[in-house]
Structure formats: C-alpha cells, structure tokens
Amino acid sequence: MAFPEGFLWGGSVAAHQLEGAWDVDGRGPSVSDVLTGGSRERPRRITIPLEEGEGYPNHEGIDFYHTYPEDIELFAEMGFKCFRTSISWSRIFPRGDEREPNEAGLEFYDRLFDCLLAHGIQPVVTLSHFEMPLALATDYGGWLDRRCIDFFVRYATTVIERYHDKVRYWITFNEINNQANVSRDLYGWVNSGFRPSEFENPRKAMYQAAHNEFVAAAKVVSAAHEIDPALQVGCMIAMIPYYPYSCDPDDAMCALEGMHQRYYFSDVMCRGYYPSWAKAEWERDGTKPEMAPEDEATLRAGVSDFLSFSYYMSMVEKQEPGDLYVRRGSGDEHTVRNPYVRTSDWGWNIDPVGLRYSLVSLWERYQLPLFVAENGLGAYDELKDGTVDDDYRIAYLSAHISEMEKAISQDGVDVIGYTPWGCIDVVSFTTGEIRKRYGFIYVDINDDGTGSRKRFRKRSFGWYKHVIETNGAEL
Ligand code: BGP
C-alpha cells in the first residue's frame, strides 16, 4: 500500500447535521432548519413557518456544539490527521445580509479549531454545506439574486481572515452539482435557496443560481490567496460515475452526456470557463444564465486549487428510445439497475472500483490534486454490549481504500486526503434520519428523540485507527 507521507486521513461531517444549537448564541435559521424529518418512503418537506408537532432533526443534531471536546478526543484516539466540517453561515451572519458578523458565532469556531489543533488535527472547512441563511432564501430568492455574491464573499473573507492561521484547506460549496436534479425541490433549496418547482423553466433558474455561485466561489479563491498565499481553496461535487449499460453506442453516448450533469460544475470551477456543450444546451433550451461583463475574467482568475468530491456509488445509464441523451428532470431519467453490484440498506449501489474510476476520470480531466471528502456506508447499526459489530462498514471502507490506493500507486493520481462521511453518527441529509448511521462512533439518539446521547466505539473505530497508524498499509 503506497499512501504518500502526510496523507490526510480523517473524517467528515457538516455543521447542520451534527452541531444542533440551531438558535443559540445569535445563530439565525438556515435553509436546513426548515426541513422536516423523513425516511426513504416519506420525503423531507420544506416548511415555512415551522409546523407544530413536526420533527426538525437538524435543530439538535447530536449537540456537537456542546459535546465537541469529548468527540474530538475520540477522533484523536483514532489518530485523525484532519477533520472536515463546515462553518454554519448563519452563525456568523444570522440573516446573511448584515454588514457585521456575530462575534459569538466566530468565538465558537475559534474554540472548535483550537481544540482540533490541540489534538494535532487539521480542520478542513466547508464554507457552505446546505446552510444558507434562511433570510437570503425568503427575502432574496436565494442564489438567484446576484447580491448573494457579495453576501457570500463578505462571509467567506470574514472567516478566512479570522481563521487563516488555523485552517489551510477550505472548500467553497458542498456538492454544488446536486441542484442539477431539478425534479426535487430539496436539492435546489439546500444548494441555492430556491424551489425549482416554482419555475416555468427550472433548469434556467438552476443555471442562474449556479452561475452566481461560480462567480462567488472564484472571488473567494482570489481573495483567500490575497489574505494568505499558503491557503488551498477547493471546490466540491457529488461524484456518481455513469457506466453505459451495454456496448450499444447509444448507451455509451447516453452515459457520457449524463456525466455533463456533474462536469458542468467542476469544469467551470476547475478550468475557469464554461464548456462548449453547455453553450449548445443553453441555445437549445433557452437556459443561458445572465452574466456581468466582468464575470468571465473573474472565473478565470479564481480557479480552484483542488477538487474534492463525495463518492458513495456509481450508476448505470441505458438509452431508451425517444429523447436522445437530453436530460431535463432528475438527470437520472436513463438510470437502470446494475446487475453486477449489491446495494446498501437505502438502495445505494456498493461499487469500490467506482472510486478508482472516479479518481482516474477526474485526475485525467483536471490534473488538479483530489480530495475524497466523503465516502461511507449508511446502514442500520445495532448497539449491543456497548459496541456495534459493523464488519459490513469495515468491508465497504477497506475495499474503497484499496481502490483509492491503486489510483495512487498504479494510475499516478495525486490524492491529498480521505475523510469518510459521518465519522460520528449524524442526521442524514436526504432522509433526515439518524438511524442511517455512517460513523465509527455510535451516538445513542433515536429518530423518536429517545436515547442517552452517549457515544460508543463501533468495531470500525479500532479498525480505522489501525489503518491510519499504518498509513493505509494494513486494511
Ligand atoms: C452528501 C452530503 C452529506 C451527507 C451524505 C450522505 O450528499 O454532502 O451532507 O449527508 O451525502 O447522504 P445521506 O446523509 O442522505 O445518507
């Protein structure tokens, strides 16, 4: 196993999925605070105002806002080199449009980052992980309003100036490409603070919000380099490779065109300009976003320093007769089952080779350092005698780490870090469930609110500790 010296082994979470304290110390509500709980069968709902008697799991999370010292002790026991989390934007600017930040919010992240550094753990910070201040969504229409560029740049430069000597790696927007799926309001809402279903041409609205985000991200990359040339600012996509269902050339083209739903975002943020096929699509569908004259130069000047991505699964594309390759709704209109892989308890394909496939594909496309910012298995875990025998999670992660190692040693890919998602159990994003557990650490909270809130080491805790100790040599 050949992981480079200094490889950033760690874990990944997001403020809104674990901090809780949603209305403490001046924090304002975010777009994720109005999402009800849900399940695979019962989709989460966006409710403004909040509904009496409804459950909002992100309000408590796992109360990390107060338990972080003990939780970080556990991360240090595993030997984490880094820990990816997000700053909750509405802790710093409660409405998002204020001119001055909320000092109590800034002081929390001073304490959190100092605690991580005291344990030898580098913070890796996502600036916006589905946590836009709710007021920017309700009063401005979210990222459809160009003024959000300045609001975001003010927020980002405030925290980068405050923490640049504690945080070297920054990520602008989490899974910025999720909103390409315009068939569900959830994605447009958490990515950009708008509901696609309210628009005649939802893809046009989505491309407009995305453009404003691209400009904001580019401005932040440039500003960060001014503040501290040592900083590395990356972008982040959800990477789900599409495999063609067969050697039928139409299946091959269908899969290749399908990948445009992801590359539309990473191309702009990693290259600094829009791909030509995007312009052809804008012409065909009337979806060209409005741009300011200076935007082109801004995008070129603010190219990301690295590309991070989440990898959970691959998908399979089969071209059905009719709308050749064109995607309008979910982007998964042509997706079919993969008969060669198993699925998780939530129906996600389990495909470790797909991680190597993703690493090689992204490396060869951008030649930028890559960071696997999320990977993991959401599963039903059973707490018994103070632990969880999660051999299934060890099998999933060791297979994925093994494929990542091949990408490094056999394909020459420059991978800088690996932070399995939900390194401690957190509230699921898509379903709002805590029972969809990913962690090395079990948190005794149930979806009905019961539980001791105690933490327990799963079997994978000791396994991952050894992986880090041997720098990936022994899985
Ligand atoms: C990604 C998000 C994370 C996390 C992960 C797991 O989309 O970046 O926030 O939630 O998915 O998904 P889920 O929590 O729905 O199982």
Structure tokens at 73: 């002790």
User: Which structural domain range is residue 453 located in?
Assistant: 8-243+259-306+348-469
- Kindly state if the Cβ of 126 falls inside 6 Å of ligand 1: no
Position 21 scores a pLDDT of: 98
- If you measure from the C-alpha of residue 424 to the centroid of ligand 1, how many angstroms do you get, rounded to a whole number? 13
- If you measure from the C-alpha of residue 83 to the centroid of ligand 1, how many angstroms do you get, rounded to a whole number? 16
In a domain, 235, yes or no: yes
In a domain, 318, yes or no: no
In a domain, 299, yes or no: yes
In a domain, 343, yes or no: no
Residue pair 180/241 in contact (Cβ under 8 Å)? The answer is: no
- Kindly state if the Cβ of 238 falls inside 6 Å of ligand 1: yes
Q: How far apart are CA 39 and CA 434, in angstroms?
A: 10
- Kindly state if the Cβ of 344 falls inside 6 Å of ligand 1: no
DSSP letters along 56-68, please? -GGGTTT-HHHHH
Position 332 scores a pLDDT of: 80
In a domain, 329, yes or no: no
Q: Which atom of ligand 1 is nearest to the CA of 346?
A: 16
Position 333 scores a pLDDT of: 82
444, with CB counted inside 10 A (0-12, 13-18, 19+), is middle
Ligand 1, atom 2, residue with closest C-alpha: 429
Ligand 1, atom 5, residue with closest C-alpha: 429
CA-nearest of 278, 266, 277, 275 to 364 is 266
Q: How far apart are CA 95 and CA 193, in angstroms?
A: 13
Is-catalytic flag, 317?
no
- If you measure from the C-alpha of residue 404 to the centroid of ligand 1, how many angstroms do you get, rounded to a whole number? 20
Position 152 scores a pLDDT of: 99
- Kindly state if the Cβ of 240 falls inside 6 Å of ligand 1: no
In a domain, 99, yes or no: yes
Number of domains the chain is built from: 1
Q: Model's pTM, two decimal places?
A: 0.98
End-to-end alpha carbon distance in the chain: 9
In a domain, 152, yes or no: yes
CA-nearest of 394, 377, 366, 387 to 444 is 387
Q: How far apart are CA 15 and CA 38, in angstroms?
A: 19
pLDDT along the chain (475 residues), means of 10: 92 98 98 97 97 97 98 99 99 98 98 98 98 98 98 99 98 98 96 98 97 99 98 98 96 93 97 95 95 98 98 95 67 90 96 98 98 98 98 98 98 98 98 97 97 98 98 97
- Angstrom CA distances, 422 to 10, 13, 15, 355, 400, stand at 11, 5, 11, 18, 16
Q: Are strands 306-310 and 315-317 parallel, antiparallel or unpaired?
A: unpaired
Position 320 scores a pLDDT of: 84
Catalytic residue among 19, 175, 317, 433: 175
Position 170 scores a pLDDT of: 99
- Kindly state if the Cβ of 429 falls inside 6 Å of ligand 1: yes
Position 329 scores a pLDDT of: 67
> Tokens 């010296």 — which residue?
5
- If you measure from the C-alpha of residue 430 to the centroid of ligand 1, how many angstroms do you get, rounded to a whole number? 6
Structure tokens at 222: 């440039």
In a domain, 38, yes or no: yes
Is-catalytic flag, 175?
yes
| CATH number, position 52 | 3.20.20.80
Which 3 state secondary structure label does DSSP give 376? coil
Position 471 scores a pLDDT of: 98
